[in-house]
Structure 1
Amino acid sequence: MSKNYEKLSQAYYDQHAKKFDRSFDGFLAGFFKRYIVKHLTINKPRARVLDVGSATGQLLAMLSEKQEIFGIGLDISPEMTRFASGRYPQFEFLTGSAMQLPFDDQSLDVIVCSASFHHFPSPETFLKEAMRTLKTGGKLVIAEIRIPLVRGLYNRYIERFSSEGDVKVYDFDTLYKLLSEAGFVLINGQKHLQIQYFEAHKKS
């Protein structure tokens, strides 16, 4: 029987929403958020920025300190959405699936995934949705886990034992191929310790 990864993610993050930022998972997630904030440039004023897997909303707050944005957070966990909405009322937070983004075609300037891509049951479906909802020239940003030496062992472990909705950790070349096959053009790809970072844009 196959796992329902989204239900597993929802249950896990519902349980941990209020204490997430103080947890070990939250501590590790902070490295990805800071990396994104350091490297991402958003040129458009009041850009519509969607954080997929937004958790407590911290990344949107960090990005908004660099420049004014119209921030939207999407998370599979209604408890995370509720907590983030109370914490950062200046942003819009929605509960929903990355497999079916609840946005109109060409309505977003930037989509960010911070340590959330490995939770998506169908990365191809998410990338198709990202392509649909991004404006022409819009930017997709993915910061993901990088564990090159033990990735295979780790993936076998999470397949058997993980109850947190983890699906698979990808290597750099596979992520690049997924982006390319979805029609994105890579404009920045980096590897740094346990982080792999991609910025890609929708073709003009």
Structure 2
Amino acid sequence: MPEKPKHEALNPNSFNAERDSRYHYDEIARNFDHSWDGFLSSFFKRFIVKTLDFEIHSTILDIGCANGKLLEMLNEKKAIIGTGIDISPKMVRVASELYPSFTFKSGSAQQLPLGSESFDVITCSASFHHFPDPIAFLKEVKGFLKKDGRLVIAEIRIPVITRIYNRVITDHSYEGDVQVYSPKELQTLFFETGWVIQKKKISRQIQYYELTSK
């Protein structure tokens, strides 16, 4: 199969967020930590590790796990039982090679490739803005949390120019970005899908939420 040209996503009729994400992250999987995406995502990972409290041996699922680095960073804080899911099969292969003590699966956040597993914590680190149907995700993910489990979402925050940035994404992004959300927009999504905000932190370009289901 020929490679998808990077300009294909510029055609609104051909845009497919999950396909474009899969293609882009497959391309940079081997060098993710040294890529621009890896550099930017490192700030979100460090913020999560610093902010999130959890018990030793907690079961933690990272959605949009890339090369698995966040799970390893959490494991260095306290030993965990880690699972990662990413849309990119090549990224999952790299993660499995780097961190064989964790379980990694390739699949969509819109239809999680899980069975009856349930987790103490589910994390989304700078990945929520890639999800084509955020409401469907927020509803589905509830079924994979233990009672009193938490969903942790750390997302980009771009004050003032959010609408302008989203127009740029629509016209020029080939990385599978769908849109960025203001804190008000995110919190409305959480409320509409039955989540309760237990912790919220806003720090420069990062907005961080710990959520429990009603």
TM-score (norm. length: structure 2): 0.91
Match status 1:22 vs 2:9: no
2:177 partner amino acid: D
Identity over the aligned pairs, expressed in percent? 52
Q: Conserved in 1, the CA contact under 8 Å of 2:148 and 2:213?
A: yes
Per-residue deviation, residues 149-171 of structure 1 (Å, max 9, x unmatched) = 21111100111110000000000
Match status 1:118 vs 2:129: yes
Alignment of 1:43-58 (within 5 A): 43=55, 45-58=56-69
In structure 1, which of residues 32, 40, 43 is the aligned counterpart of residue 52 of structure 2?
40
Match status 1:109 vs 2:115: no
Per-residue deviation, residues 74-127 of structure 1 (Å, max 9, x unmatched) = 000000000000000010000000001122456121110000000000001111
CA distance in 1, matches of 2:37, 2:23: 15
Match status 1:98 vs 2:112: no
2:22 partner amino acid: Q
Runs of 4+ in 1 over 4 A off after TM superposition: none
Q: Conserved in 1, the CA contact under 8 Å of 2:106 and 2:113?
A: no
In structure 2, which of residues 1, 4, 15 is the aligned counterpart of residue 3 of structure 1?
15
Q: Conserved in 1, the CA contact under 8 Å of 2:26 and 2:88?
A: yes
SS of residue in 2 equivalent to 1:18: helix
TM-score (norm. length: structure 1): 0.96
Q: Show structure 1 runs of 5+ residues with no match.
A: none
1:11 partner amino acid: Y
CA distance in 2, matches of 1:25, 1:144: 14
1:63 aligned partner: 74
Match status 1:77 vs 2:69: no
Cα RMSD between the aligned structures?
1.1
Per-residue deviation, residues 160-185 of structure 1 (Å, max 9, x unmatched) = 11000000000001111111221111
CA distance in 2, matches of 1:12, 1:70: 28
In structure 2, which of residues 175, 185, 197 is the aligned counterpart of residue 186 of structure 1?
197
Between the two proteins, the alignment pairs up a number of residues equal to 202
CA displacement at 1:2 relative to structure 2? 5.6
In structure 1, which of residues 145, 157, 161 is the aligned counterpart of residue 156 of structure 2?
145
Q: 1:108/1:98 Cα in 2 relative to 1: closer, same or farther (>3 Å)?
A: same
1:133 aligned partner: 144
SS of residue in 2 equivalent to 1:175: helix
